[in-house]
Amino acid sequence: MRFKDVQIEMAHGAGGKASRRLVEGLIAPLLSNATLDELGDAAVLPFGAGRLATTADSFVVRPLRFPGGSIGELAVNGTVNDLAVSGARPLALLATFILEAGLSTQTLREELEALAAAARRAGVSVIGGDTKVVEHGKADGMYISTFGFGTVDERALLAAGNVRPGDRVLVSGSVGDHGITVLLARGELDLEAQLESDTRPLTELAFALIDACGDGLRWMRDPTRGGVATALNELARACGHAVLIEEDSVPLRSEVRGACEILGLDPLHIANEGCLLAIVAPQSAGAALEVLQRTPGGERAADIGEIREAPERTVLGRNAYGGTRTIDMLVGDPLPRIC
């Protein structure tokens, strides 16, 4: 894959096809090494007797606060969750702040408090960081970058290559809440809904699965930018199989369904910040679903489909009447800057 676009567009940050072209066609080839080339949610490298998972994310969400969360909370949970779906508990975080001159101290204080509260909830400390200031008119108040690391649980042997036909596809919560919440919070659309971001740490949900499934747990991912559809397409390409989704099994709030219908969006393309996708062996699926539903944040967990041999490298959705459609990765950027 080569990146042929002559300039950067918003879609290159949306987490879908354009982002993939930018990362796989330009960034990764120039910085290439064995760990980076895995392009996982976290970069895992051997360390001492074990494996160290490390991850870095920048947060540019607009507006800074939205129902159910804010940039400070996202900055912790997003990074903790990249570790969690890699089978690691966070050991520590570092955070850097790019602040806009003119930002009110009160707003900064609120986001620092949100960040501190999210770190406490996730059981992790922020041990270092940096602060820069740019001129008024840049940086939309603030951007936060967060770096996290943790040791990978030795029982967690997660890889797309472990995924087999017959494996089940689980999702830990309702889909699309975060992206639609942020979109509505901008107030640019004549739409209102009682909806909150799902931002939360996924560590307990991920470790409930590790405890319940052992090596029956094949793969996990938190479907943020690009949504469930993009994450499952990446899985399908990496494992070489098909993913068949029973569309009526996907947990979906009526507010998200309604907003997506009005806006012409597919809920499977909408970002989530507090749910995970897991592929589990068929014999582990019942126990996995049960522990997810018993764990806070997993009450709406569902078995939404299965891995099939064919059509290779494809995600299909099947509706209640038996009709199927191909579910593609996100194309373009209908929802810029939702994280």
Residues 90-119 contacting a copy of itself, CB under 8 A: 91-92, 94-106, 108-109, 112-113, 115-116, 119
Alpha-carbon span 74 to 142, nearest angstrom: 13
Residues numbered 215-244 forming contacts with a copy of itself, rule: CB under 8 A? none
Provide the 3-class DSSP secondary structure of residue 12: helix
Query: Shortest gap between Cβ of 12 and a copy of itself (angstroms)?
Result: 5
Residues sharing a CB contact under 8 Å with residue 182, sequence separation 6 or more, in sequence order: 61, 62, 63, 66, 197, 335, 338, 339
d(CA 273, CA 68): 11
- Residue 298 or 334 with smaller CB distance to a copy of itself: 334
Nearer to a copy of itself, 34 or 320 (CB): 34
Q: Which two tokens stand for residue 175?
A: 């889909």
The window from 49-57, 165-173, 180-188, 247-255 that contacts a copy of itself (CB under 8 A) reads: 49-57
Distance separating alpha carbons of residues 167 and 305, to the nearest angstrom = 9
Residue 258 CA to residue 85 CA, distance in Å, equals 30
Binding residue for a copy of itself, selected from 123, 130, 211, 309, defined by CB under 8 A: 130
Half-sphere exposure of 135 (CA within 13 A, CB side): 1
Beta bridge partners of 88: 152
- The β-bridge partners of 44 are 53
The one-letter amino acid code at 329 reads M
Residue 156 interacting with a copy of itself (CB under 8 A): no
CA dihedral 202, 207, 208, 209 (to 10 degrees): 100
| 210: its two tokens | 């590790």
* Per-residue mark of binding to a copy of itself, 50-69 (x: CB under 8 A): ----xxxxxxx---------
- How large is the C-alpha radius of gyration of the chain? 19
How far apart, in whole angstroms, are the C-alpha atoms of residue 148 and residue 89?
Answer: 10
336 binds a copy of itself (CB under 8 A): yes
Q: Which of 123, 132, 189, 214 binds a copy of itself (CB under 8 A)?
A: 132
Q: Nearer Cβ to a copy of itself, position 97 or 219?
A: 97
Q: Among residues 98 and 232, whose Cβ is nearest to a copy of itself?
A: 98
148 vs 317, beta carbon nearer a copy of itself = 148
| Choice from 126, 185, 220, 277 touching a copy of itself (CB under 8 A) | 126
57 vs 306, which CB is nearer to a copy of itself?
Answer: 57
State which residue, 7 or 194, has the beta carbon closest to a copy of itself: 7
Phi, psi of 53 (to 5 degrees): -100, 135
> C-beta of 228: minimal distance to a copy of itself in Å?
20
Compute the least distance from the CB of residue 89 to a copy of itself, in Å: 14
Closest approach, Cβ 118 to a copy of itself, in A, equals 11
In angstroms, give the least distance from the CB of 80 to a copy of itself: 14
What six digits make up the tokens of 10? Answer: 């918003």
Where in 166-205 is the site for a copy of itself (CB under 8 A)?
none
Question: Between residues 27 and 262, which has the closer beta carbon with respect to a copy of itself?
Answer: 27
- Comparing CB distances to a copy of itself, the nearer of 148 and 216 is 148
Mask: binding to a copy of itself, 5-44, rule CB under 8 A, as x and -?
A: xxxxxxxxxx----x--xx--xx--xx-x-xx---x-xx-
CB neighbourhood size of 102 (10 A): 10
Residue 123 contacts a copy of itself per CB under 8 A: no
In terms of DSSP bridges, do strands 242-246 and 314-318 run parallel, antiparallel, or are they unpaired? Answer: parallel
Applying CB under 8 A, the site for a copy of itself has a residue count of 78
Token couple for 104? 């009110």
